[in-house]
Structure 1
Amino acid sequence: MKTGELIKYLEDWAPKEAAWERDNVGIQIGSRNKELKNILICLELNRDVVSEAIKKKCNFIFTHHPLIFTPLKKLEFDKDNLIEKIIIHGLTVYSAHTNLDFTKGGVSFALAKKLNLQNIEFLQNADSNRVKIVVFAPEESVDTLSEKLFETGAGIIGEYSKCSFRLKGEGTFRGSENSNPVIGKKGSFEKVSEMRLELIAERWLLPKILDVIDRHHPYETPAFDIYPLKNENENFGAGCIGNLPAEMTPSDFYEHVKKSLRLESFRYSKGNQKKIHKVAVCGGSGSELLGRAIASGADAFITADIKYHTFHDALDKIHLIDAGHYETEVVVLDEVKKRIEKFINDKKIKVYKYTRSTNPIKFYKHKGDK
């Protein structure tokens, strides 16, 4: 299996186009054309991660945080240079960052599952980034054409795939002397029984969709329309919201969060709810979703990197917990590992999760603690 095959699988799940526009996702260093050996998964890259990858004979490293975020102005190799080490050992480094944050089953979904939430859905769906494609085709061709369009990723609405609408009607045309009509004769006015086929798709799939129409539509000149949509996108979004299996008191819930995420401690401010049932989460920095969490009726909201004044905004409204950036994101690595192992299905290729922590933040307890 080539590294490019794994990358395609990852991007079918978490498309690069779903990422924040200023993000740098995808291949950081390496090639799509190398034979895949072992794989190491980590939250971010450092020298210890690279050393472990080399030791375990990995040639593919998956990271959540990109190694290269701002443009490099030069590459000057010195002692123990990280990029030089990656190149020398032929490693491919691949990052899925905000696209994995905004993807169903991604970071926030993994966090919600770790907290044993049920009926999980996006806290805030992505803004409109979809189109409706309408294609007119002969009735006998519409099944084949629709299947080819579904293969591009079109027709997915929430938990449903291969979604379309069909309406039977009559099409008319008259080809010029330079035409080569599949049905009827050039220069003649023709009436044909046709189907109107409608599908919804992410805007970034349009090149693939137009290519399918060009190659698989029977007509010399296919008729189709593309409509921009203003609907929120239920396939992508930020944060998650779900329900605990049973109500908890705030103190029991705090203990549940601490144990579930293996936290030493966390910062929080109290809400006015005596029982907690509905919980919103956002892996990493999600403070901007506080208003959405409150409006959605959540009793508690768990995220990271919360500012002082944001705690004030939440006070007596919702239980707000800062569980740490690393701690709320590292939970996704198990999901990535599980999906890659299922895709590869090859016992010769091992998938490892980095055995140590890359979290730079430590908690000072008292003199003598490390």
Structure 2
Amino acid sequence: MKIKDITNCIEAIAPLNYAEDFDNVGLLIGSYITEVSGVLVTLDTLEVTLDEAIEKNCNLIVSFHPIIFSGLKKLNGKNYVERVVLKAIKNNIAIYAIHTALDNSFQGVNAKICEVLGLKNRKVLIPKKNTLKKLITYVPTKNAESVRNALFKLGAGNIGNYDQCSYNTEGFGTYRANENANPVLGKKGQTHTENEVLISVIFEKHKQANVIQALLNTHPYEEVAYDIISLDNINKEIGIGMVGEFDKPKNETDFLQFVKKTMQTKCIRHSKLLGKSIKKVAVLGGSGNFAINNAIHAKADAYITSDIKYHEFYKAENKLIIADIGHYESEQFTKNLIVDILTKKFPNFAVVLSNKNTNPIYYL
């Protein structure tokens, strides 16, 4: 088992290009071709986490948060980031971070919060822009089905709850092969007309390389004509935050007590109670002040997130309850999610859930 096998498994759920531009995801320390003795999954990579990895014979740490977030100009151990990097290198421990790539995954951080809270009918709160592309190609009629099927197999043609979606138009194409060509149909130096099908399919941008390779592998022509178009369409299954519903409404006090107990937090800071029941809930793990208006627009009765500042509670505008449960508390089940992903794929491999609490905030 190599590191690349582990990261490929995670990236099947959370491709790295789902991450936000400001983020630093992927393999931060180490080589993808290194053999893995064991994987330690954690929320944060600290010195205590490295000690745990060493103790448990894990030479790969899969961390939600990246330990290296901005550029390092020196490595002399003057702060905790440099000390972690030095210690990891010294002990041949690789560090991989997934962060906002998993935030933006439909099966990621916010889906896990919804699962823990028992929220159903889940939808993405803020769909991520510029994640869809369209392939248009032209295929001889007799080869159209095999090309379509190859594209579908690589994930093209998926739209919401539907797959194998394509648009097809019959027509004819013309070309003339020069002396250096090796035409499958037609003859060199002669204009050839061929009955063709225009095939159009949508795909998620991270699948582009595989989709194009599938096209080239199955298309009969020596030179394949195709267009790739970036779309402004919204992909409802990629994005940050999530909205879901309880089976039965809860009154506000019961709701807050339920969240406090279920999310294992010692403190909930919340906006003014409104005297209404809570059924539809928006969630966003980590710092979610930027999505308050999105939660209101989604007509949520409550919004669970963290790192809300004093004046930002006013943004509730008596339209919903904002519940700040703490940054660590909102993301704490993420490492369980990552362990579940890896153990399902590699049931007989050593995937260890870190038992270290890396929350830097304490409560009196």
Output the TM-score relative to the length of structure 2.
Answer: 0.93
User: Which whole-Å CA distance do the structure 1 matches of 2:148 and 2:346 have between them?
Assistant: 29
Match of 1:49 in 2: 49
Share of identical aligned residues, percent? 36
Equivalent residues of 2:156, 2:201 under 8 A apart: yes
| Counterpart check, 1:203 vs 2:205 | yes
Worse-matched range after superposition: 67-76 or 242-251: 67-76
Counterpart residue number, 1:157: 159
Query: Following the alignment from structure 1 to structure 2, what is the Cα–Cα distance between the partners of residues 215 and 118?
Result: 41
Taking structure 1 as the reference length, the TM-score comes to 0.92
Checking the alignment, whether the CA contact within 8 Å between 2:182 and 2:222 is kept in structure 1 is yes
Q: How does 1:198-277 map to 2 (within 5 A)?
A: 198-272=200-274, 274-277=276-279
- Which residue of 2 is the match for residue 367 of structure 1? none
Measured in 2, the distance between the counterparts of 1:283 and 1:126 equals 16
Equivalence for 1:173:
175
For 1:108-130, what per-residue CA distance to the aligned partner results, in whole angstroms no more than 9, with x for missing partners? 11111111100111012111332
The match for 1:351 is 351
Q: What's the CA shift string for 1:200-247, capped at 9, x where partnerless?
A: 123344344334434432112212122221111223111000100101
Summarize the Cα distance change of 1:146–1:74 in structure 2 as closer, same or farther, 3 Å threshold. farther
After superposition, what is the alpha-carbon deviation per residue over 1:233-291, rounded to whole angstroms, capped at 9, x for unaligned? 22311100010010110011011101110111110012535111111010001111111
Does residue 63 of structure 2 align to residue 63 of structure 1? yes
Q: 2-side partners of 1:160 and 1:96: how far apart?
A: 28
Superposition RMSD on alpha carbons, in Å?
2.1
Q: How does 1:1-370 map to 2 (within 5 A)?
A: 1-76=1-76, 81-272=83-274, 274-346=276-348, 349-364=349-364
Q: Aligned with 1:235: secondary structure?
A: coil
Structure 1 residues 88-114: Cα deviation after superposition (integer angstroms, max 9, x where no partner): 322111000111111111111111111
Q: Which stretch shifts more, 108-117 or 191-200?
A: 191-200
In structure 1, stretches of 5+ residues that fail to align are 365-370
- Does the Cα contact within 8 Å between 2:129 and 2:235 map onto a contact in 1? yes
Cα deviation, residue 313, structure 1: 1.5
Matched length: 362
Indicate if the aligned counterparts of 1:157 and 1:234 stay in contact, CA closer than 8 A.
Answer: no
Q: Whole-Å Cα distance in 2 between the matches of residues 148 and 88 of structure 1?
A: 46
Structure 2: where are the runs of 5+ without partners?
A: none
The 3 A distance-change label for structure 1 pair 357 and 89 is same
Q: CA deviation at 1:2?
A: 1.1
CA deviation after TM superposition for structure 1 residue 79, in Å: 12
